[in-house]
Every structure is written in C-alpha cells, then in structure tokens.
Amino acid sequence: MNSLSSRLCNKVKVYGKVSAENELYEVDDREELIAELWCDIVPKNGKVEELTAAASRYESITHEVIFRRSAEKYLSAENVIVYRGQRLEIEYIMPHYNEPDRVVAYCREEVNK
C-alpha cells in the first residue's frame, strides 16, 4: 500500500465565493483563491448526452478527490476545485472511514462540446 504523501501528487487550487464592494459601491460575489492543496484525483463515472437540436455534446464526469484531513477546513459544497484548467464542482465531502487521516470530496465536472 502506498503512503499518503506518495498518493497526493496533484496540486489543485480551491476557489470560494467572497463578497466584495465594486467600483459602484455595490456588494458583489466573486471567486477568490482560498488555498492550494495536494490531493489524489480518481475519476469514477461519466455520462455523455448528444444534443442533436443544438449539434453539441454534453459530458458529466464524477471524481473522487482525496485530501489530508487538515484540508477539510477549505472544502465545502460552495467551493470549486481547479486542476489544470478543469473545473470540479464539489457536491459533498465525507470522511474516509477506513483511513481517518483523509477526507474525500465528491466532485462533478461538466463539459459542453
């Protein structure tokens, strides 16, 4: 079995919504970098839909993203994980019951082609 540090080989950026005042003195929500973390990304499931009327293709891919337990404070369903330009929407976070030093974020990547 591989050690945790050898499995966490993907560096990702976690973005979250932050309220900020714009130049018109209005409060807007914008995405801001919260943290850069190391993780293991495992693709789990995928679905492809052909949209003939629009002549396009819609792909939905689910991922299991494993982090150290200490990274849990940066993860929530409102945040987004970005890895090499791919945007992974966090659906939910669960503890890894067999290995208590880890936490798992289940994410969805949606692509329109």
Give the 3-state secondary structure of the chain. CCCHHHHCCEEEEEEEEEEEECCCCCEEEEEEEEEEEEEEEEEEEEEEEEECCCCEEEEEEEEEEEEEHHHHHHCCCCCEEEECCEEEEEEEEEECCCCCCEEEEEEEEEEEC
Reported as a pLDDT band with limits 50, 70 and 90, residue 12 is very high
Could you report the per-residue pLDDT of 30-71, keeping only the tens digit for each? 889 999 999 999 999 888 877 766 667 778 899 999 999 999
β-pair partners for 19: 29
For 61-93, the pLDDT digits (tens) are: 999 999 999 999 999 999 999 999 999 999 999
When the pLDDT of each residue in the chain is averaged and rounded to a whole number, the result is: 87
